[in-house]
Amino acid sequence: MANKLQQTISLQTKISPQQIQMIKLLELPTMQLEERIKREIEENIVLEEDTESHDENDQLPEKISVDEYIGKEDDTPAYKARINNFSKDDKQRPVYITDGHSLGESLVEQLRFRSLTDEEMTIAAYIVGSIDDDGYLRRDLVSLSDDLAFTRSMDVSTEEIERILHIVQELEPAGIGARTLQECLLLQMQRQNIDSPAKRLAHKIVASHFDSFAKKHYERLIARLDVDEELFRDAIDYIRSLSPKPGNLYSEGGIDTTPYIVPDFLLDTTDGNMRLTLNSAGIPEVRISRRYRDMMRDMVAPDGTVNAKDREALQFVKSKIDSAKWFISAIKQRHDTLMRTMQTILDFQREYFVDGDKSKLKPMILKDIADRTELDVSTISRVVNSKYIQTHFGIILLKSLFSEGMQTSTGEEVSSHEIKSILQECIDSEDKRHPLTDENLMDILNDKGYCIARRTVAKYREMLDIPVARMRKQI
């Protein structure tokens, strides 16, 4: 076969480094943007924090060009503008505010006040390290014994680990180190005085009839225990007052369950007028340092020539200034895109933002906002991702404002939030002795004109974190 040369013409879409930088900045919430700007200031020597107050027109980066100072005969510069993009494999992690000791550190500190040998302390610390954030020990004792043998060269029997575990279970908070929910509740009861008939009955229910209690077979339990309904109700109320996850009661930091939220938008509603602003508190304004701009001018002779010894330094400073200009421009573009998108969402859902009534939310998808802003759907998705708005009725996640539409029997399109609101009202007002099943809820919605299937009712109920009818049953 003969070798052939062939030319082909094709169209390709390539994203420039500046566009990649803009996309990355657009995804960042306010808290992470502050850290990103501070890191850029540290990495780029020509960037500095702008602490002076000036007009908006002065905030734009000054156009500095030294192309005329560098002749065409110059070699390709060794320095290139750094964009400092994140790798595609990097994960955006939420920023949490933590303070004090973690749950594990607190347990180990309590163990130091116990009279334990070095070997017992090692075993106890290993047990504490195996406890989950919610306070449960979900590893079996045989696995703990094997791990101690492999990692610590300690031959410890399961009976010895069980004995040390009981010591750990005596620590605070009550119920820590339990292996099952039943054991967790019993450990908490042991810390309290069971000095009333209701508490004694509650202990008997959890200790001997836990399966029936978990399945809410209340009528069967009342008949089996031969107690009156009022006493049984008091016992159930006492059991419900106990914590099913004792680890969550530890609130001195170290747990990733309570992130500190900083709203990205602020909505001020006064006399029916809505004023939307971008939350810029704590975000430093940046500018190009005058020192380096003056340095570039000093390197250029009056006749426009540059000394050979200054050319490399001039090119280095120029590359840094170009990178700084791109970064400042990306920050400004991020501000404009966020405000443009949020204002469109605000106009679309104006009735909802008046009083926060979710039933007034209109069906809205990303494409609706993309069409109105003339931006791409992916851009809208990045804007609303992990962003919050502070209103007079609370802090709202932007993603929660988007929902699919559903048509009623009259052809009117309503939001899924309205259906969820009706479901919540029906369940709140139901007879807890005979809670509504998914079929009953489907019939109620169909009678109201909402054409919805039982499977959809179950999906919305799960999204509202509402258990099935059997688990909602009360005495």
Average pLDDT, the chain: 80
Closest CA to 95 of 264, 315, 221, 233: 264
What's the predicted TM-score (pTM) here?
0.56
pLDDT category, 341, cuts 50, 70, 90? very high
DSSP type of residue 434: S
Rounded to an integer, what distance in angstroms lies between the CA atom of residue 286 and that of residue 44?
11
Per-residue pLDDT, averaged over 191-218, amounts to 90
- 54: tokens are 């000036």
pLDDT greater at residue 101 or residue 286: 286
Most confident of 44-48, 53-57, 339-343: 339-343
Closest CA to 351 of 408, 412, 415, 411: 415
Q: Is 265 helix (H, G, I), strand (E, B) or coil?
A: strand
pLDDT tens, residue by residue, 221-253: 999 999 998 999 899 999 989 988 888 766 544
Backbone phi, psi, residue 102, to 5°:
-80, 170
Is there a contact between 139 and 130 (Cβ–Cβ < 8 Å)?
yes
Look up the CATH superfamily of 405-475. Homeodomain-like (1.10.10.60)
pLDDT of residue 185: 93
DSSP type of residue 52: S
Residue 188 Cα distances to 7, 102, 208, 223, 232, angstroms: 79, 21, 16, 27, 19
Q: Strand 394-397 vs strand 388-391: parallel, antiparallel, or unpaired?
A: antiparallel
User: 196 forms bridges with which residues in the sheet?
Assistant: none
Percent of the chain at pLDDT exceeding 70: 83
Per-residue pLDDT, averaged over 79-89, amounts to 41
Backbone phi, psi, residue 352, to 5°:
-70, -40
DSSP string covering 174-230, please? TTTTBSSHHHHHHHHHHTS---SHHHHHHHHHHHH-HHHHHTT-HHHHHHHHT--HH
Closest CA to 38 of 327, 335, 329: 327
Rounded to an integer, what distance in angstroms lies between the CA atom of residue 17 and that of residue 23?
10
Torsion over CA: 103, 106, 111, 114 (sign): negative
pLDDT tens, residue by residue, 255-284: 444 457 788 899 998 877 889 998 887 788
Q: What is the crossing angle of helices 218-225 and 197-208, to 10°?
A: 110
Closest CA to 337 of 4, 6, 22: 22
Q: Is 438 helix (H, G, I), strand (E, B) or coil?
A: helix
Closest CA to 386 of 259, 283, 295: 259
**What is the 3-state secondary structure of 133-163?**
CCCEECCCHHHHHHHHHHHCCCCCCHHHHHH
H/E element, 424: helix 416-428
pLDDT of residue 89: 46
pLDDT tens, residue by residue, 85-94: 444 444 444 4
In this model, does residue 150 exceed pLDDT 80? yes
- 3: tokens are 């070798």
User: 364 forms bridges with which residues in the sheet?
Assistant: 403
Q: What is the CA radius of gyration of the chain?
A: 32
Torsion over CA: 435, 437, 438, 440 (sign): negative
Angle at Cα 310 formed by Cα 309 and Cα 314, nearest 5°? Answer: 145
pLDDT tens, residue by residue, 294-335: 777 777 777 667 677 777 888 888 888 888 888 888 889 989
pLDDT tens, residue by residue, 381-430: 888 888 899 998 888 889 888 877 676 666 666 777 778 888 888 898 88
User: 396 forms bridges with which residues in the sheet?
Assistant: 389
